[in-house]
Amino acid sequence: MKLINKNEIVIKKSRFLGFIYEIDNEEDIKNILDNIRKEHKKAKHFPYAYKLNNTAKKSDDKEPSGTAGLPIYNIIERNNLNNILIIIVRYFGGIKLGAGGLIRAYSHTASNLLDNKK
Protein backbone atom coordinates (compact mmCIF):
# COMPACT_ATOMS: atom_id res chain seq x y z
CA MET A 1 0.00 0.00 0.00
CA LYS A 2 1.27 3.42 -0.92
CA LEU A 3 -0.15 6.90 -0.30
CA ILE A 4 -0.33 8.59 -3.69
CA ASN A 5 -1.77 11.94 -2.68
CA LYS A 6 -3.81 13.78 -0.05
CA ASN A 7 -5.71 17.06 0.05
CA GLU A 8 -8.08 19.17 2.12
CA ILE A 9 -11.13 21.16 1.12
CA VAL A 10 -13.30 23.28 3.45
CA ILE A 11 -16.96 23.80 2.52
CA LYS A 12 -19.29 25.67 4.89
CA LYS A 13 -17.03 24.94 7.88
CA SER A 14 -16.86 21.19 7.15
CA ARG A 15 -13.35 19.87 6.46
CA PHE A 16 -12.97 17.16 3.82
CA LEU A 17 -9.59 15.40 3.94
CA GLY A 18 -8.99 13.18 0.92
CA PHE A 19 -6.50 10.33 0.66
CA ILE A 20 -5.76 8.13 -2.34
CA TYR A 21 -3.81 4.90 -1.95
CA GLU A 22 -2.43 2.27 -4.26
CA ILE A 23 -3.51 -1.09 -2.78
CA ASP A 24 -2.54 -4.71 -3.34
CA ASN A 25 -5.09 -6.67 -1.29
CA GLU A 26 -8.06 -6.40 1.08
CA GLU A 27 -5.76 -6.43 4.10
CA ASP A 28 -4.28 -3.12 2.85
CA ILE A 29 -7.76 -1.61 2.78
CA LYS A 30 -8.57 -2.72 6.32
CA ASN A 31 -5.23 -1.42 7.66
CA ILE A 32 -5.58 1.94 5.94
CA LEU A 33 -9.16 2.44 7.17
CA ASP A 34 -8.17 1.46 10.73
CA ASN A 35 -5.18 3.84 10.69
CA ILE A 36 -7.18 6.77 9.27
CA ARG A 37 -9.92 6.27 11.88
CA LYS A 38 -7.34 6.23 14.70
CA GLU A 39 -5.55 9.29 13.33
CA HIS A 40 -8.78 11.31 12.95
CA LYS A 41 -10.75 10.28 16.05
CA LYS A 42 -12.85 13.46 16.12
CA ALA A 43 -14.06 13.15 12.52
CA LYS A 44 -17.70 12.19 11.98
CA HIS A 45 -17.59 10.36 8.64
CA PHE A 46 -15.10 8.15 6.76
CA PRO A 47 -16.71 7.31 3.40
CA TYR A 48 -14.58 5.48 0.87
CA ALA A 49 -14.56 3.56 -2.37
CA TYR A 50 -12.09 1.17 -3.87
CA LYS A 51 -11.48 -0.96 -6.89
CA LEU A 52 -9.18 -3.94 -6.39
CA ASN A 53 -8.57 -6.49 -9.15
CA ASN A 54 -11.82 -5.31 -10.74
CA THR A 55 -13.77 -5.90 -7.51
CA ALA A 56 -15.35 -2.74 -6.13
CA LYS A 57 -16.90 -1.55 -2.90
CA LYS A 58 -18.15 1.77 -1.60
CA SER A 59 -19.36 3.05 1.76
CA ASP A 60 -21.27 6.21 2.71
CA ASP A 61 -20.24 5.74 6.37
CA LYS A 62 -23.36 7.27 7.94
CA GLU A 63 -23.80 9.98 5.31
CA PRO A 64 -27.18 9.87 3.50
CA SER A 65 -27.34 6.95 1.05
CA GLY A 66 -25.61 7.64 -2.26
CA THR A 67 -24.10 10.99 -1.25
CA ALA A 68 -20.53 9.93 -0.46
CA GLY A 69 -19.37 6.44 -1.49
CA LEU A 70 -20.98 6.53 -4.94
CA PRO A 71 -19.55 9.93 -5.95
CA ILE A 72 -16.09 8.73 -4.84
CA TYR A 73 -16.51 5.47 -6.75
CA ASN A 74 -17.64 7.36 -9.86
CA ILE A 75 -14.32 9.26 -9.88
CA ILE A 76 -12.44 5.92 -9.76
CA GLU A 77 -14.53 4.55 -12.65
CA ARG A 78 -14.37 7.73 -14.74
CA ASN A 79 -10.56 7.60 -14.58
CA ASN A 80 -10.33 3.83 -15.26
CA LEU A 81 -8.39 3.23 -12.04
CA ASN A 82 -7.74 -0.17 -10.48
CA ASN A 83 -6.03 -1.20 -7.22
CA ILE A 84 -7.00 2.18 -5.78
CA LEU A 85 -8.63 3.21 -2.49
CA ILE A 86 -9.99 6.71 -1.95
CA ILE A 87 -11.09 7.63 1.55
CA ILE A 88 -12.42 11.04 2.53
CA VAL A 89 -12.51 12.08 6.17
CA ARG A 90 -15.21 14.61 7.05
CA TYR A 91 -15.10 16.84 10.09
CA PHE A 92 -18.66 18.17 10.33
CA GLY A 93 -18.69 21.95 10.63
CA GLY A 94 -22.22 22.38 11.97
CA ILE A 95 -23.88 23.39 8.70
CA LYS A 96 -25.86 20.76 6.77
CA LEU A 97 -24.89 20.67 3.10
CA GLY A 98 -27.88 18.72 1.77
CA ALA A 99 -27.64 15.76 -0.59
CA GLY A 100 -26.50 17.79 -3.59
CA GLY A 101 -23.92 19.64 -1.53
CA LEU A 102 -22.52 16.40 -0.14
CA ILE A 103 -22.32 14.80 -3.58
CA ARG A 104 -20.46 17.85 -4.94
CA ALA A 105 -18.13 18.01 -1.92
CA TYR A 106 -17.14 14.34 -2.08
CA SER A 107 -16.81 14.38 -5.89
CA HIS A 108 -14.71 17.55 -5.79
CA THR A 109 -12.41 16.22 -3.05
CA ALA A 110 -11.91 12.89 -4.85
CA SER A 111 -11.26 14.43 -8.26
CA ASN A 112 -8.77 16.91 -6.77
CA LEU A 113 -6.75 13.97 -5.49
CA LEU A 114 -6.22 12.92 -9.10
CA ASP A 115 -5.63 16.43 -10.43
CA ASN A 116 -2.83 17.11 -7.94
CA LYS A 117 -0.95 13.81 -7.75
CA LYS A 118 2.46 14.08 -6.12
Instruction: Specify the pLDDT at position 27.
Output: 96
Q: Which residues contact 116 (CB under 8 A, 6 or more apart)?
A: 5, 7
- Write down the pLDDT at residue 117: 57
Task: Check whether 70 has a pLDDT greater than 80.
Answer: yes
Q: Does 118 score more than 60 pLDDT?
A: no
CATH class of 2-115: alpha beta
Question: pTM for the complete prediction?
Answer: 0.94
* Structural domain spans, the chain: 2-115
Average pLDDT, the chain: 94
Can you tell me the mean pLDDT for 44-56? 95
